Structure formats: C-alpha cells, structure tokens
Chains A and B, each alone.
Chain A
Amino acid sequence: MPEIDRRHLLKAASATSVAGLTGLAGCLGGGGGDADSLSIGVVTDTSGPYAHLGNSVIRGIKLGLAQSLDADTEELADSNTVEGSGVTVEILTEDSGLAADTGRQKARKLVQSDEVDILQGSVSSSVAAAVQDVATNASTPMFIDTAAATSLTGENCNKYTFRTSQTTYQDALAGGKYAAENLGSNFYFVGADYSWGHDSVAQWKSVIEENGGSAAGESFVSPGTSNYTPYLQKADESGADSIVVALTGTDGIRFSRDLADFGTDFDATATGVTTVPWMQQVGTAATGFSAIPKYFWPFPDNSTNEWIIEQYSSQWNTVPSIFTSGAHAAGYAIGQGMQSAGSNDADPLIEEWHGMTIEKTARGDGAYTIRECNHQAEFPMYLGHFEETSGGSMDVEPVLDDTFEAQASIRPCGETGCSGIEL
C-alpha cells in the first residue's frame, strides 16, 4: 500500500479501539512530525552465539547518535536514551535470537505497540529479511547494520531500507581483488553451507577470476562441523595455493586451528571468520589470514575513530567490533537526518538519507555515502592481516595493508539487481 501512509494508519488504528478491530481505520493521522523526539527499535541477537555482535551494534548506534547530537556520553553504557541538541532519541532493543519468526514478531511489536519511528537490525540475514518485510509493509524506515546478504539492498531494495554495513559483495570486491593481486593465483573456496556462505563464495570467485586468479575448487560445510581437515585436503589436492574462507562463529575458529596445524603454506583470506572473539580464541593461528576486508579498530586514523575507541574502552572496557563502524554510521545518519529534516516523520527523513553523505564516521569525515540508487552505503574498505604481539590482552593484532576507494568496493548501480528507488 504505497500511496497511503500506512504507519500512521496503524498508529491510529491501535489508538482508537473500535477502528482497530473492524479495520475501519480510514485515513486518520498523517503529518504532524515531531522535531524533538525519535525512537529506534533494534531487533537483533542479544542472547545467542552472536550476542557480542548484537550488543556491539547497539553500542555503535548510541555512539553515532551521541556524536551527531553532541550528547553527553557519561551514561551511555547504562541508558537507552541519547539526548542532545534538543533531540531525545530512545533506543528499544528486542532479542530475536537467530529466529526469523521471533524477529518478525518483535519487529511487529516495535512498530505497532511501541510505535517506533525507525527499525534497525539484524545479525542474521534471515532475521533481517523478516524485519525488512515488516518495515516495508509498515512504511517504516529501516537501517541494516550487520546482515550482509546483497539481496536486502539488491532485488529487495526499496525506499525504506538503508544499509550502512558492508554487503558480501563489498567484502568480495575489496578482499577478492587484493587476494588475487597479492596472495596467489589459484584459489580454493570453503564456505558455510547456507545462503551467506554460498553467496560469498560465488562473489569472491567471480571477483578473483576477473582479476586474473583462477578457482581450483570449492567445498561447503555444514555449521557445527567439528573437523576441517577434509577441506584442507581437497584444497591441497586441487593444486590451489590460497584459500578463501566464508565461515562464521566457532566454525571459523575450528577452521583456523586446522589451517594453522595442517596447511601452514596456504595463504588464506576470509570473510565472516575474523571477529574479535575469534582473535581471542585462536591467538597466533590468526596470523595465517590476510586480505581481510573488515573494519578493525586500529585501521582508520582519524579523530572520530579515536573517539569511538576511547568511548568503547571507558564505557564498555573492550575494543569495538567489526560492525561498530557501520552501526556508528547508522546512528550518526539518523541524528544528522533528524536535525536537517526537523521531523521524525518517515518521508522527510527518507529524503534526507537518500543520497546522504554522513558527516562523521569511523572511516573518516564524509566517508560514507548512502547511494540514491539502492540505499546501500558506499565507503572505503580496509584490508589487513594479523601479527603476533606481546603487549595487551591479545596475542595478535590486526595490521593495515591497504585501503580501497569507496567506488571501487561496490558494484555499480546497474548491477545490484535493485530496479531503482522512487521517493
């Protein structure tokens, strides 16, 4: 129902009891945006195996909001409200675990009962698709901050969906190109046996082939697999000199250990695998990986990133996660949009975000631009590897090798599968 403002219709429906029941809501509401308050409903995993990512995203949003609104950060860790520049933003968090149906119910709750102005999520692409579906049908803007499936801003793009985190293709364009130029010529691919793993492998493969590399073979592995030696053996037999890995969580940890023990001569690159908890578990085994296209906190050298690291260590006593950069950008974009639109209504906000250059980001001032063609943010990509270190709480540290320009790290508008966005 694109022509009527369904969200206001919904709010009106739940506010007036009889109308809600009989479906006779009619064209109530609409207009009347509020310039000094906003609420964001975040649906993500805060209890399951990726809770560390879910929680880091919430922290990132708060930091981005606080910075854009010039808010006091003293209470940021314990409070769900960010207040500054005359604007109060409330962040409501709902746990979806990794289940699409729970995520959908929670998203519906946030839209209807809590009447949030913006939805945000999610770690799992399956949950993100559910939240996107709810957001679109409720004419509520949504920011994707973790999920990497290209289809979310590709075939399923629409004016309500924005993404500030990187897609599997952005990873592949930067990581694959760098790998083809620096790691070897013949690659073996090991991916998780579900959509994300298959997408990642297909995309890295095509980028590597475009850049003169060749594919020696591929394997897909069920999540929870305990032993990765068969895939290293197949990689070895295939004559590959490098491996591209698309695994997550403990699968990535076990793979890295087997790689360190069995395949020390393979150069490896990875997407998904390399998170901060992974570094803390595998220790020096991390040094087998390079051409990693993720945001690691030491990479960007700018004042915003320094501020983020400082806040992270004082508020939460840890380092930012690989998704902090994107989550901060989303938070900042929301604050920036709110201030220039002077309203918390969907349409004026969407107009602001459509093509917005985000002023301050962890990757530098103005480094993120939300593309008009599919509402996917483009930003420079960092490529790094891991080195042993003796200082600090970890055995390894990420080291920056190269930076890719934003435009070089994203597919041209015509190739995304998005048929264009009309406001």
Chain B
Amino acid sequence: MSYFERSNELFESVKTPYIGATLLALVAAFPLVANAIGGLPFLTSIAIEMMIFAVFAMSFNLLVGYTGYVSFGHTVFLGSGAYMTAILMKKFSVPFIAAAPAAVVGTGLFALVVGGIAFRRSGVYFAMITLGVAQVFYTLFQSWNYVGGDTGIIIDPPVVFGYEFNPFEPMGYYYLALATVVVTYLFTRYLVRSPFGHVLQAIRENEERARAVGYSVRTFKLAAFSVSGGLAAVAGVLYAAYFTQVAPGSTLYWTTTGDGLFMILIGGMGTLVGPIIGSVFVIGTQYALSTYLVDFIPEGAPTLIARLPERWPLLLGLLFMLTVLRFRSGIAGGLGFSRVRSIDDVLARVSGSAEPDEAAVKSDGGDEK
C-alpha cells in the first residue's frame, strides 16, 4: 500500500507550508491591491465567484478524483444547497446563519438518497442515473411557481450578527468565501488522508480488491457521495448568499456540472489544489475572454475576428481537449503536484482482470509521471 505514503500534495511536506501561507497572504491581500489599481469591485466579484466554484469543484473532485466515480448530475447538490438556503430565508424567514447549516445537512441527506439509487450501478450507468436525477429537478423547477420558475428566488443579502453583507462592497463576501475555501481545502485534505479517504482511493484504484479486502465498499461510496453532496451545498449556500438569486438555469442545468468537470480536469484531477486552480482558470478565462477580449478587436474587423470574444467556450473547449490529450495531470500536475499510483495497485488490477493486457495498459495510462 505504498500509494498512501507516496501521495504528494500541496502543504504535504514540511517545506511547503511556507508557500501555502505566502499564497494565502497574497490572496487575502488581493482586494487591497485590486482596489489600488482601480478595478476593485469587478475583480473582487470575479474572485468571489471563483472561490464559490472552487468549493464546488473540490466537492466534485472528492467524488471524481478520489473515489473514481464520474457523476453528470453533481450540480443538483449545488442547486439543492442554494435553493434550500433561499427558500428557508425567503419563505420561512429563517436567518442565514441557521439556514446555511440546514441546507448543507439537508443536501447531505438528499445526496444519500440519490447515491442509494445511483450506486446500484457504476461507470456510464452511474453517470446517467445522476444526470437523470439532475435533469428531472431542472425540468420541474423551471416551471414551479413556488420557487419562482426560471427566474428563481431573489433574496436579500444575508445579515450575520448585525453585519450586513453588501454585494457592492464585497469585502465581507470575499473573506467569507476565502475562509470557506480554506476550511473546505483543509477538510478535504484531512478526509483524503484519513483511513476513510484511503479506502475511497482504494475503491478508485480497484473496487473489487477493496471489497475483497473486506471493506463495505457500498457504505464508503455512499458516505463519500453524501459528504461530496454536502460540500457542494456549502458552495450552494455561498452562491445564494452572494448572487442573492437562485435560478434553475444557473444551478441545476447540466452545463454547470460540465463546468465543474472542466475545472477539475484542467486544474488537476485527484489533487487537492487542482480544483481551486481549475476554478480560477476556467472562470478567469471566461470573464477575460467575454469581457476584455472585445477591447482588443478593432472596430470594423472581419466577422470571424469580431466573433472571437463571443466564442470563449471554443477556446476553453480546445484547451480542455488538449489537457485530456497531453496534460492529463492538469495545471496542478504541471506544477509538480501529481496523483501518484503504486505499482502494487496496477499489478493487482492486472491479476484481478480477465483481460490482462488491456487492463495493464489502461491502468497505467492515467498518469504522467
């Protein structure tokens, strides 16, 4: 089981805490700098959005990167967290401070139910069941008047212990989101390094063997799914608090799951920092291309050039493909954080498989070391 000793993550070795602390200090100081150069509110707004989706991507990564299950419906948990927060606040006048934990716990339980159904299958089938669940909710919420249909629920910014969050002076949001990212990061780090996390990774590497060793694989998967859903709900709570509008098109539609996959993969799947890097990168690229690229297009340029800023997903998609084809370990991998796998597991997979050659090749190809 040398895999567990060898995993190499940010903050892992004794040397890296300094890097981590420095980075954190820089991020914490960012609004001050952004403010000084004049782009304060918008840059800070984008940074908050990045952090919200970093939490979402981290939650998703726990499932995809560490347990090895690709869900196509993960956005339903972001939506669940956001909707529960908004409904509790708007319809039942529950204060944010109470609505938030309720939404997270509620979504964790909801995920337990969805997982109970979905984990009866694996692979593509699992992906399709989760997609099915998410699409059913999306379709129903689009026209359900109680939750505002496709316009969704609009709430007032939360007030916590007398502090009024204000989207126009987003410092409060910024540090709330930053704190959430740090806590989520530390939590997932703790989780994947705990015996629980080790079992998840064993399931990812070889589910049969994990079962053979005696683990109740189903229980572990369910627990992972529920925690992952609950964490997505944390992102959802932040989403509701910051955007103050929860609509099905942004929180329940499958393209949001797709964005999450983009973030995980480009950032570095199965690494702790990957989802954060991925979120910053994807959302950054999106806003940079859709907001600022247009300034560089000369007036009266030919149609195809003039259309470039509108087509930022094209560039992002090409980049995504390139990542899958050439840099499977993502940006985090390029920076030296890799998802290392022990040869034991590869061998185990080989011996446990009916088709040795193919399995060996397949198991080996996932990482670029």
Contact = CB atoms under 8 A, between A and B. Distances in A.
Do A's and B's CB atoms come within 8 Å in the complex?
yes
Interface of A: 6, 10, 13-14, 17, 20-21, 23, 25, 46-47, 51, 78-79, 94-95, 98-102, 104-106, 108-109, 111-113, 124-126, 129-130, 133-134, 137-138, 149, 151, 193-198, 220, 222-223
Nearest to B166: A23
A105 B145 contact: no
Given A21-B171, A94-B291, A129 B154 contact: yes
B152 A100 contact: yes
Contacts of B101: none
Given A100-B245, A151-B151, 20 more contacts: A17-B36, A20-B35, A21-B35, A21-B171, A23-B166, A23-B171, A95-B310, A104-B244, A105-B46, A105-B49, A108-B45, A109-B291, A112-B40, A112-B168, A113-B39, A129-B151, A194-B149, A195-B143, A195-B149, A197-B143
| Among B41, B145, B166: residue with most chain A CB under 10 A | B41
Nearest to B311: A47
B150 A194 contact: yes
B40 A14 contact: yes
B40 A133 contact: no
A23 B150 contact: no
Q: Which 5 A-B pairs have the closest CB atoms?
A: A195-B149, A112-B41, A47-B310, A109-B42, A194-B142
Contacts of A98: 249
Contacts of A151: 151
A119 to B, nearest CB: 14
29 contacts: A13-B168, A14-B40, A20-B169, A47-B310, A95-B290, A99-B249, A99-B250, A100-B247, A101-B245, A102-B250, A104-B243, A104-B245, A105-B42, A105-B46, A105-B49, A109-B41, A109-B42, A109-B45, A109-B291, A113-B39, A126-B247, A129-B151, A129-B154, A133-B244, A138-B168, A195-B143, A195-B145, A195-B149, A198-B145
State the majority secondary structure of interface residues on B.
helix
Contact of A149 (B32, B45, B151, B244): B151
Main secondary structure of the interface of A (DSSP, over half): helix
Contacts of B148: 195
Interface of B: 31-32, 35-36, 38-42, 45-46, 49, 139, 142-143, 145, 148-152, 154, 166-169, 171, 239, 243-245, 247, 249-250, 287, 290-291, 299-300, 310-311
Contact of A126 (B31, B38, B49, B151): B151
A98 B46 CA distance: 18
A78 B300 contact: yes
Contact of B41 (A14, A23, A133, A222): A14
A133 B245 contact: yes
Given A17-B36, A95-B290, A130-B245, A100 B151 contact: yes
A17 B40 CA distance: 9
B245 A108 contact: no
A361 B290 CA distance: 33
Given A14-B41, A94-B291, A21 B151 contact: no
A249 to B, nearest CB: 14
Contacts of B166: 23
A200 to B, nearest CB: 12
Chain B CB within 10 Å, residue with most, of A17, A111, A126, A198: A126
Given A47-B311, A108-B168, A112-B168, A133 B154 contact: yes
Contact of A137 (B31, B32, B38, B167): B167
B279 to A, nearest CB: 14
A104 B48 CA distance: 13
B167 A198 contact: no
A29 to B, nearest CB: 14
A137 B115 CA distance: 41
B245 A125 contact: no
Contacts of B42: 105, 108-109, 112-113
B143 A129 contact: no
Nearest to A126: B151
